[in-house]
Structures are given as structure tokens and as C-alpha cells.
Structure 1
Amino acid sequence: MTSPRTAGTAPRNALTRARVLESAVALADREGLGALTMRSLARELGIEAMSLYHHVANKEDLLDGVVDVVAAEIQDAVGGLAALPDEAPGSAWKPAMRRQILTARAVLLRHPWASTVLETRTSFSLHIVRYYESLLGLMRRGGFSYDLIHHAMHALGSRALGFSQELFEPDGAAAGSAAGGSATAGADDAATAMLVQMADQVPHMVEMLAEVGHEDAGSALGWCDGQSEFEFGLDLILDGLDRLAEREQH
């Protein structure tokens, strides 16, 4: 007689790589990237840890997989945003590209750990390659030479995918800020206190912070609005690229 399956444990034939990766993303979203281990993921799925190795070779394969899941979500979100009508003016590339990048950012804000993993990958997800291809297509439609596109991608860096490394960001601040929570409060206070103590050594820094500081609980160090600063930097780059593209065409 077959023993009844333990409650909460999925039969082996119901476990797929897709299900493993979806559960891994959900676990990282809920508890953070540090909580994503093979053992904790096995518990999440209600299986023995060794069973995971039928679907992911190791931790690096798991991280490649969760990046692919998030990248696919970005691709689904941007959808046809990169498509420009044939009659669109050359300048139409800029608002379309801005919209696409900010859409990608909205996805990453739902998965605040994902940018950290993206920065450590040694190979690109096919979804990421296709995403970049759509950005290149927009710039070509805008009259960019491939040489200028190459410079543009270097200038944009990770910002093209919707995230950037902040100048001042204590450990743990990025995830807390991206999630819109108050997890960074302790780090904010400590960093502010340190700068106040160094006021005689960094007077411009202290004066700048006194002038622009505000009480946004979700901002990096409490000094700036992460979304506004991201858009400011993005617009600065896109405006500069627009001028260079116009110069190339004349």
C-alpha cells in the first residue's frame, strides 16, 4: 500500500525548474537575498534539499535563474513600449526610452534584491539581451550612429535597466529604500552623526545636506528622493544624448 504524501510536500513530478525559481523569487522578495539558500528554498517548497539539484545545479545556477525570472518580468512589462510608429519624429526615441527604463525600474523596485544579483552575473539572460536590443532599436530610430549608441550604453550603465549605485548608501540602505520602508533609519542617523562630527573637515558636505535635507523616510540617508534622483540622472543623460544625435545629423 502506498504511503500518503506528507502534508505540504509536493510530489516529485510536480516540481519543475520554473516552480523552483518562482518560489526562490518569492522567498527573496519576502525575506531578502541573504535568506535565499538551497536549504531555505527546499523548506519553502516542502522538499528535501537534495531534490533541488534535479532542477538547479548549484547556488550560482539558482541566482542565474532568479535573474532570468525578473528579466522576463521586465520584458513582459515593457511589452510594446519600444515600438515607434513609422511616422514618429526622430525625437520620439527619448520619451519612449525614458518610459521603458522607468518601467524596468518599477519592476526592480518590486524585487529590491535583484539589482545586487544582476551586478554579479557573468552571463546575460536572453531576456536582458532582448531588452537592450529594444533600447538600441529606439536609438537607431532616433538617428544615432552605432558609435554614439556604444557611448550611450556606457554612459547609462546599469541605469539602462532601472537602477544605479548611489554615492552614499550604508549597508542595507538600498533594499530598505527601494522597498519604500524605514529600514534605513538607523544607518541614516549614524551616517548623519558622523558627518556632523566631521563638519570642520567636510564643510561643503554638511552645508549641502543642511540645504537639501528633508524627512522622506524612504530616501537614501534621508537626504534625497531616490526615484527623483534616478529620473534626474536619466534625463540628464538622455538630454545630452539627444543633443549629440542632432549634432551627428547636421
Structure 2
Amino acid sequence: MAEQAEMLRRTPLSRDRILRAAVALADEAGIASLSMRNLAQDLAVVPMALYKHVANKDELLDGMIDVVVAEIDPPVPDTDWKHAVRGRILSARQMLRRHPWAPLAIESRNTPTPAVLAYLDSMIGTFRAGGFSVDLTHHVMHAMGSRVLGFSQELFDASRRAGRSGTGDADPPAAPSPEVAARFPHIAEIAAAASHDDGSVVGRGCDDQFEFEFALDLLLDGIERLHRQGWTSRRAR
């Protein structure tokens, strides 16, 4: 341990090293555990040393987002738009498996970070290269929402609240009581039929992998149909 600490002290501090250490800390203990003091301790430096490379925690978080978004696979050349979009979105979702804190971090930003903007710009470019009009692409990006980055928000998702606190995964929802089931029979019917594979859950803030791909494919099939029909919005007519 003493040798490891000495090695850390001898390794030059840099912005990249700080960001990657912050990502590792958030991966291990959750985003709520991240502080400049804890990060400095992990890096074996005094907290003030960090501020030579990142101005504040907001800048640190922006940089962390850019580090993980850069892990998303680049566009595959000579691939049709539908397969290209689907592949990159599922690559983004795999990135979230490695960094389950990322969805809430991305949502917390008032403006997208440079890496997020570059990713979105590239996805828009894929639609445009596939022959989509600016009008249709505009509406497609609205319809995709956060799903284009590999996550979506489920109704009354308690796991997202757990993700905010960094205390771990939320307990699975309990079955409706007989009284609730009698009052809301359709909800009870769906709750009884639902089955989710715990092994396929990407992480806090995300829904089940099967449900995600199911909705993604519905969207892409609908988008493909509109594209073939030459759809335009009323505003563009």
C-alpha cells in the first residue's frame, strides 16, 4: 500500500487523470459519493491541486460525462441509417452498464457537454445522410429523446431515486394489495404479467433491456415508415 501511494504521488497530475479517477470513484460508490475532497484523497493529493485542472465540481462532472460518452462506438461506414442508429444507441446503453450514474449526470446539466453535442450531431448526420429531411429529422430527435443516449425514464421509477442518492439499487416494486388490485384491475393485471430479467438491467435510471429494445424498435420502424412516405410536418408544408 505504501508503494502504491508513493507511485500515485509521483504520477503527474493532469486533467485526464483527474477525470478518469472521478469516473472510477462514481462507478464504485455512486455519484453522490463524489466530492473534490474524496477525489483528492484517491489521487493522493491535496484538494487545491485539483483546481489547477478543473475549476469546480460542475466542470468536473462535465468532463466525466465527456469521458464516458467517448466510449460509445463511432459510426460504422457503409451502414444503412436504421442499423447505424440502432447499433450506436445500444452501444450507448452498454456504456451505461459500465457507468450507471451517467444518465442522471447527463440530465442534470443545463446545457449538453461537448461530447454529448458531438454525439447528437453525428446521429443527426446519420439521419440526414440516410435521406431524411431536416423537418423529419427534427421531429425524430424529439421522439427519441434520451433514448438516443441509451436510457429512458419509466413512470414512477423508484430506481432513479435510488440512483440520485447513490445508496444502491431500489427494491423491486411490491405486488399490488388486493384492495388496490380491485380498484385498479388493469394495472394489477399488467403488474402480474410483467417479468424482468435482473441480469439485463443496465443500472439505476434505466429500464429493462428488453423493454428498451422493444420501444426502440417500435420507434425505428415507425420512423422508417414515415421516411418512406415522405412525411412532412404541417409547419414544413
TM range (shorter): 0.7 to 0.9
Structure 1 alignment gaps of length 5 or more: 1-5, 86-91, 176-181
| Structure 2 unmatched ranges of 5 or more | 202-206, 232-237
Q: Measured at CA, do residues 109 and 197 of structure 1 come closer, stay the same or move farther in structure 2, by a change above 3 Å?
A: farther
How far does the alpha carbon of each residue in 1:109-146 deviate from its partner, in whole angstroms, 9 at most, with x for none? 11000111001112322222221222112212222110
Matched, 1:41 2:39: yes
Matched, 1:202 2:195: no
Please tell me whether the aligned partners of residues 105 and 161 of structure 1 are also in contact (alpha carbons under 8 angstroms). Answer: yes
Name the TM-score, length of structure 2 as normaliser.
Answer: 0.83
Number of equivalent positions:
219
Is 2:6 aligned against 1:7? yes
Q: In the aligned structure 2, how far is the partner of 1:48 from the partner of 1:248?
A: 60
Equivalence map 1:1-250=2 (5 Å): 7=6, 9-11=8-10, 14-74=12-72, 78-81=73-76, 83-84=77-78, 92-171=80-159, 183-184=169-170, 187-188=171-172, 191-193=173-175, 196=178, 198-213=180-195, 216-218=197-199, 226-248=208-230
Q: Is the 8 A contact 1:71 1:128 kept in 2?
A: yes
CA contact (8 A) 1:136 1:149 kept: yes
Return the offset for 1:183.
Answer: 3.7
Q: How far, CA to CA, are the matches of 1:51 and 1:230 in structure 2? A: 42
Shift of 1:219: 6.5
Query: Which is bigger in relative contact order (C-alpha 8 A, separation at least 6)?
Result: 2
Q: How far apart, CA to CA, are the structure 2 residues paired with 1:110 and 1:124? A: 21
TM-score relative to the length of structure 1: 0.79
C-alpha distance in 2 between matches for 1:144 and 1:17? 39
Query: Over residues 142-192 of structure 1, what are the superposed CA-to-partner deviations in whole Å (9 max), with x where a residue is unaligned?
Result: 2211000000000000101111112242145775xxxxxx943xx21xx31
Q: How far 1:218 sits from its partner (Å)?
A: 4.2
Cα RMSD after superposing both structures: 2.5
For residue 244 of structure 1, what is the amino acid of its counterpart?
Answer: L
CA offsets per residue over residues 78-117 of structure 1, 9 Å max, x none? 2242x326xxxxxx21112111111111112110001110
